Amino acid sequence: MFNALVITKNDSTQATGITQLDEAQLPDGAVTVRIDYSTLNYKDGLAITGKSPVVRKFPMIPGIDFAGVVETSTSDQWQAGDRVVLNGWGVGETHWGGLAQKARVNPDWLLSLPQEFTSKQAMAIGTAGYTASLCVDALVKQGVTADQGDVLVTGASGGVGSVAVALLGRAGFKVVASTGKAGEGDYLRALGAKQIIDRTELSQPGKPLQKERWAAAIDCVGSHTLANVCAQTRYGGYVAACGLAQGMDFPTSVAPFILRGVSLLGIDSVMAPRPLRKSAWTRLARDLDIAALDAIGTLSPLADAQRIAGEMLAGQVRGRVVIDVNA
């Protein structure tokens, strides 16, 4: 038997609570993992609270991330004792996820956990940090360099934004961090931000073309914020879009793209192919200051996940929430 956070639905009513399950109830998969830690992402918050139809089938164990140790495997890719990490692949949406003490998954969904990280540190990174690394990789592959000017990160005090600031700062970029939390300036500067701006500078409807400010940007927010970011990006600049904290809409025009040659790079973390995932985790292992993880991540027991999910959607959570599923 093992403990899990389970979401059930009866007609239109969703209920969530910790339940004991038998290992025989785990879904099909070649690899069974004993989970050490999971984490809470914004998507997990949406799933747990039912604020958005993230979960596609019920009952469901939420949690799009986990790190742990292979317990049993019928796949030649993995052996008992291997340290592994999983991000995305529909886990926590269509397949039982990481907010549990055990998971059974497709072997192709797993990556070897870099030796630089413990399971707890890997979940302080989680999908948020892995997505941030995908964004940085995308900008670097387009030729963005530190000497080209300011790089903006929106939603900077959130999970993706925090790691993006840390990675960019470590790589020598001049990072401008946009946040709605006035008290987070010291936190963001410690991660590597050189300048802090209030999110209200970007969150209201704006003109299709505005003063050129950013050599590149990582946007975790969407909606009017992303529209304004594009409108303020310099000629030939790049914007990596990976989030929708403000909304899924994109109220802009083609002007930044056809008059300034701005490029919008879409970043998907859920179904990203393995080479991109490996590259992102390699960057994290090489460039992310382990000390930054202590500032970014806070540890909570599985019993607190439901409460924290609500706080996350209310914008009351800073950085990353690591969940000890065995506490």
Residues 40 and 134 in one domain: no
Span 57-104, pLDDT tens digits? 999 999 999 999 999 999 999 999 999 999 999 999 999 999 999 999
Residue 119 included in any domain: no
Output the six-digit token pair for 237: 């600049």
Residues 132 and 235 in one domain: yes
Residue 122 included in any domain: no
Residues 234 and 138 in one domain: yes
Q: How long a stretch of residues is the chain?
A: 327
Residues 97 and 197 in one domain: no
Residue 272 included in any domain: no
The DSSP bridge partners found for residue 4 are 19, 100
pLDDT of residue 317: 85
Residue 303: CATH number of its domain = 3.90.180.10
Residues 220 and 165 in one domain: yes
pLDDT of residue 42: 87
Nearest alpha carbon to residue 21 among 40, 39, 6: 6
Give the C-alpha separation, 16 to 89, whole Å.
22
Residue 211 included in any domain: yes
pLDDT of residue 315: 82
Residues 186 and 307 in one domain: no
Residues 298 and 212 in one domain: no
Residue 220: CATH number of its domain = 3.40.50.720
Residue 170: how many CB atoms within 10 A of its CB?
17
Tell me phi and psi for residue 257, to 5 degrees.
-85, -35
Please give the residue range of the domain that contains residue 167: 128-266
CA count, 13 A, side-chain hemisphere, 226: 26
pLDDT of residue 206: 96
Quick one: angle between helices 274-287 and 119-141, nearest 10? 110
Nearest alpha carbon to residue 4 among 57, 48, 51: 48
Non-local CB neighbours of 150 within 8 Å, separated by 6+ positions: 174, 175, 176, 195, 213, 214, 215
Residues 223 and 177 in one domain: yes
Low-confidence ranges of the chain (pLDDT < 50): none
Residue 316: how many CB atoms within 10 A of its CB?
10
Residue 239 included in any domain: yes
Span 93-150, pLDDT tens digits? 999 999 999 999 999 999 999 999 999 999 999 999 999 999 999 999 999 999 999 9
pLDDT of residue 11: 81
Residues 201 and 302 in one domain: no
Tell me phi and psi for residue 86, to 5 degrees.
-135, 135
Residues 261 and 135 in one domain: yes
Residue 307 included in any domain: yes
pLDDT of residue 316: 86
Give the C-alpha separation, 123 to 315, whole Å.
20
Task: For 85-94, give one letter per residue: b (16+ CB within 10 A) or e.
Answer: bbbbbebbbe
* Number of separate domains in the chain: 2
Residue 217 included in any domain: yes
Longest dimension (CA), the chain: 61
pLDDT of residue 15: 93
Residue 277 included in any domain: no
